[in-house]
């Protein structure tokens, strides 16, 4: 991987100088979906697949970007002396450019430019957070190149700020946080309303994490993501007329059920119900994992998918097919969609000796029903960003 990256770098930008290599992971959320912007808990982990970068400082104020995943776009450059703003011409570079902009907003100004080549091993548009991986990686590069004093938590917050304000996607903190704070063989139990978190060991003796990619492409900005967020905000506003809460994550199921009639609109009730119930499911799932009850953890994953399908309506035929076929397979502990939905990926816990049959059977059924193939990845839980 490193050699491939270096060869491309010297091919595009020439030899010589101090070329440095960096990596930031992708992430998968085990449970706790669409809770992060509702003040609830999430339970993601960093993966050993992610985004690599080769970087070399320049003497001038130009930054030149090249992605091995979008070779047809060629080299795209920006001038640090000109105002930075989102533009269609920048294409994928809006993500790293947004980080440079967000650093500048914090008065962390790059003293000079640099050349950078990216190589992502996360399938693009899969919902494993390729965009957040690029954001955290770029932040880590800036911190390392220019000696900026920012913590990994800061990198997560800067990434979210950039995605919200520069790229116009109203995402929560989970993706950037999971990537910036990843720890090998641990998932992160994060309270998104306070950023309090704990690392929880994921002991999967004889069980593997299998990602199923629907290969249905989706972009967060043009999905119904922002619409769901606004529906939850409306429901919260109506509930606040009846009780003193700042977020939906503060409610338990019983309290919500007693108050839901004040929301009135049945669609808004279902959206808020998902946020409340999913948050409590996530808390219980972590308790189950700590008690070594992997079966209960799997059952809660299944319940999470049903809620995302019926109450939150963010799954769609492709995700539902992958999950329904996963549930039929022997050796499956639990399966659910992961990420924003409307395409993207599923996550399944599968007994190790059943993984090959699982991939073959689910893959065949999916292709027959959907008309094109899904891809599968058996993944490990990895660390956060690093210089290689």
For the annotated catalytic residues, the residue numbers are 175
Helix (H) or strand (E) segment spanning residue 277: helix 266-290
**Paired sense of beta strands 332-338 and 186-191, if any:** unpaired
Locate 226 and state its tokens.
């922002």
* Cα gap 114→107, rounded to integer Å: 19
* 304 in Cβ contact with 278 (< 8 Å): yes
Contact at 8 Å (CB) between 358 and 348?
yes
Report how far residue 40's alpha carbon sits from residue 19's, in angstroms, rounded to the nearest whole number: 41
* Backbone dihedral angles phi then psi of residue 226, each to the nearest 5 degrees: -65, -35
Encoded tokens for 91:
């294409």
Which residues lie below 8 Å from residue 373, measured CB to CB, with a gap of 6+? Answer: 215, 363, 366, 367
Sign of CA dihedral 316, 129, 338, 314: negative
**Residues contacting residue 181 through CB under 8 Å, at least 6 positions apart:** 46, 152, 153, 156, 188, 197, 384
Q: Which residues of 100-116 are buried (b: 16+ CB within 10 A; e: fewer)?
A: bbbbeeeebebeebbbb
Taking alpha carbons only, the member of 223, 196, 219 closest to residue 312 is 223
In the chain the beta strands, taken as DSSP E runs, fall at: 20-29, 41-42, 44-57, 62-67, 76-79, 114-120, 186-191, 196-201, 207-213, 332-338, 345-351, 375-379, 386-387
DSSP state letter for 89 = G
| Token pair for 55 | 């970087």
Report the number of secondary-structure helices (H) and strands (E) in the chain: 11, 13
């Amino acid at each position: 991987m490193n050699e491939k990256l270096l060869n491309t770098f010297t091919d595009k930008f020439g030899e010589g100088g101090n070329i440095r290599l960096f990596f930031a992971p992708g992430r998968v959320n085990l449970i706790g979906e669409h809770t992060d912007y509702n003040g609830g808990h999430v339970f993601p982990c960093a993966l050993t697949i992610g985004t690599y970068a080769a970087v070399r400082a320049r003497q001038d104020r130009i930054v030149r970007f090249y992605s091995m995943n979008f070779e047809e776009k060629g080299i795209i450059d920006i001038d640090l002396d000109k105002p930075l703003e989102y533009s269609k011409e920048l294409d994928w570079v809006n993500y790293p450019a947004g980080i440079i902009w967000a650093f500048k907003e914090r008065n962390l100004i790059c003293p000079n430019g640099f050349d950078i080549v990216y190589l992502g091993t996360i399938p693009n548009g899969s919902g494993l957070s390729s965009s957040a991986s690029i954001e955290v990686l770029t932040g880590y590069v800036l911190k390392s190149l220019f000696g900026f004093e920012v913590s990994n938590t800061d990198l997560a917050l800067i990434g979210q700020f950039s995605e919200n304000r520069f790229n116009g996607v109203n995402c929560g903190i989970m993706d950037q946080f999971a990537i910036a704070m990843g720890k090998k063989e641990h998932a992160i139990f994060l309270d998104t309303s306070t950023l309090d978190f704990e690392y929880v060991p994921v002991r999967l003796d004889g069980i593997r994490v299998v990602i199923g990619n629907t290969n249905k492409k989706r972009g967060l900005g043009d999905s119904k993501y922002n619409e769901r967020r606004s529906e939850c905000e409306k429901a919260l506003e109506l509930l606040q007329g009846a009780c003193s809460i700042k977020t939906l994550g503060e409610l338990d199921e019983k309290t919500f059920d007693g108050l839901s009639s004040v929301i009135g609109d049945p669609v808004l009730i279902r959206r808020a119900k998902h946020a409340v119930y999913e948050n409590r499911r996530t808390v219980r799932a972590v308790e189950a994992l700590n008690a070594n009850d992997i079966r209960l953890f799997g059952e809660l994953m299944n319940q999470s998918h049903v809620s995302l399908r019926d109450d939150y309506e963010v799954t769609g035929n492709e995700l539902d097919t992958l999950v329904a076929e996963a549930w039929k397979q022997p050796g499956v502990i639990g399966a659910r969609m992961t990420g924003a939905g409307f395409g993207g990926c599923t996550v399944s816990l599968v007994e190790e000796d059943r993984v090959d049959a699982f991939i073959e059977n689910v893959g065949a059924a999916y292709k027959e029903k959907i008309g094109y193939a899904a891809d599968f990845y058996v993944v490990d839980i990895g660390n956060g960003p690093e210089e290689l």
